[in-house]
Structure 1
Amino acid sequence: MLPIIFADMTTHPRSTDRKTAAKTLRQFRQWHRTVSLIAGIVLLVVSLTGLLLGWKKHSGGLILAKTQTGVSADLRTWMPMDSLHQIAVRTLRDSISADLSPALDRIDARPQKGIVKFVFADHYWGIQLDASTGRVLLLERRTADWIENLHDGSLFDKWLGTDNEAIKLVFTTLAGLGLLILTLSGFWLWYGPRRMRS
C-alpha cells in the first residue's frame, strides 16, 4: 500500500490523473487519521511530560526538590559512604515506611554542595544527607523521576515487572514512528492539494 502511495508522490503532476491524485490524498488522509488515533495518546503523554521535565528546575520545588547544602565541600571531612548509607536506610525505615525497599538506584554525591543523595530503586523517595555530619537535610518525593519514567514508558515496565524494558521499547517506538508518519502524511496533506492545482 505505502509503495503505491509514495510512487504517486514522485509522479510528475501533468502525467498524473486527477482521480489518482485524489485517491492518493484520501489514502494519506486515512493513514493520518489512523495513526493519529493510535499514536495520539502516546504523543500526548510524551509532550506533556516533556513540558514538565523542561520546567522542573523552575517549579519552585514542586517537581524537583532543591539540592540542600552541607557544612563542608572538603572530601577529607566526609563520613565513609557505608556509614552514610546506613543512616539513609535507617531514615527511610523510621521516617517514611519500614515496608519500603532499601535497594538503591544510585548514590548522587555533590562535592561542591557537601551532600550525598540516596535514590531508591523500587519507589520514588530520596534522602539528602550532609556528607560530613550525616545529618538528614531532606526527605524528598522524587516527582521528576516519576515523570521521567512516564515520559519514556519505563514506568509501565516497573509496574508490570517486565524484562529488558520491553514496554519502554514499544512506547518509544510508537511515539517516534507515530510522529514521523504524522509529519510525512501531514506534509503530503498540505502539499498534495497544491500539487493538484498546479
Structure 2
Amino acid sequence: MTANKKRKQQARTLRIFRKVHRYTGAFLFIFFFFISVSGLLLGWKKDSKGIILPPSYQGSTAELKDWLPLDSLHQKAVLILKDSVSPTLSSKIDRIDVRKEKGMVKFIFEDHYYGIQLDGATGELLNIGKRHSDLIENIHDGSVLDNYFGTSGWIKLLYTSVTGIALLTFTITGFWLWYGPKRMRKAKQQ
C-alpha cells in the first residue's frame, strides 16, 4: 500500500471514529450528566455533614452480649417509624446494618429513604434520618427507574449496559482521536 493511500485510509478511519464519538456523546449526554453528578455526590456523602447521609451515632456499648435481641430492636424501629415519621409508610426492611464498634443498629427501609438508628443495648432512638444517599445511588445505577415502573431490574441492567458500553466506546474513540493524528503526522515525516 502506498503512503498516500495509507494516509487516506487513516484519515477515513479517524473521521469514522470522530462521528461515532460525536453521535454517541450527543445521544447519551443526559445519562452521563446524571451519572457524573450522582457519582460526585456519592463521593462526598460521608463528608456532607449529614446532608446526604445521616451520621452514625454512638450507642452505649459494643458488647453484643449486652444487646437486646434483633427482633426487639426491629419492633422498636418500626414503632418509631410509625409514630415519629408517618403511620402510612411501609415497614418493610431493606437491610439491617449492625455497627458493633459503635454500639448501634441501623434499620434501612425498602420502600422509602428513612433510616432509624437505635442503641443496641437499650433500644433507645439515636437518630431518624432521611438517607438521600440511597436515592442518589438509585439514580446513579438506574434502579430508580425500576422502582418507579415496578420492573424487576431489567431497566437497571439495560441502563448500566448502555452506559458502560458507551463509556468504553468513548474511551476507545477518544484515544484514537488523540493518537490517530499523531500517528499520521509521524508517518508523514518519514
TM-score by length of 2: 0.91
Alignment partners' CA distance in 2, 1:37 and 1:68:
45
Query: How many residues of Structure 1 are paired with residues of Structure 2 in the alignment?
Result: 186
State the match for 2:160 in structure 1. Answer: 172
Q: Which residue of 1 aligns with 2:32?
A: 43
- C-alpha separation in 1, matches of 2:6 and 2:105: 69
> Residue 24 of structure 1 is aligned with which of 5, 10, 13?
13
2:94 is the counterpart of 1:93: no
How many angstroms apart in 2 are the aligned matches of 1:60 and 1:14?
A: 62
3-state SS of paired residue (2:101): coil
> Structure 1: any 5+ residue segments left out of the alignment?
1-11
State the shift of 1:24 in Å.
Answer: 2.3
5 Å-filtered alignment, 1:112-123, equals 112-123=101-112
Displacement of 1:122 in angstroms is 0.6
Alignment partner for residue 136 of structure 2, among 139, 147, 165?
Answer: 147
Q: Counterpart of 2:151? A: 162
Task: Give the SS at the match of 1:112.
Answer: helix
C-alpha deviation, 1:14, in angstroms: 2.4
Contact 1:13 1:195 in 2 (8 A): no
- Residue identity opposite 1:14 in structure 2: A
Q: How far apart, CA to CA, are the structure 2 residues paired with 1:79 and 1:136?
A: 13
Q: Shift in Å at residue 101 of structure 1?
A: 0.5
* Alignment-mate amino acid for residue 165 of structure 2: L
Residue 14 of structure 1 corresponds to 3
Secondary structure of the corresponding residue to residue 94 of structure 2: strand
Deviation at 1:137, TM superposition (A): 0.9
CA spacing shift, 1:184–1:118, aligned 2, 3 Å: same
Alpha-carbon distance between aligned partners in 1 of 2:5 and 2:118, rounded to the nearest angstrom:
71
Residues 1:66 and 2:41 aligned together: no
The one-letter amino acid paired with 1:189 is: L
- Distance across 1 between alignment mates of 2:75 and 2:66: 18
Tell me which residue corresponds to 1:127.
116
Deviation at 1:15, TM superposition (A): 6.4
Q: Where does residue 5 of structure 1 map in the other structure?
A: none
Distance 1:185 1:154 in 2: 28
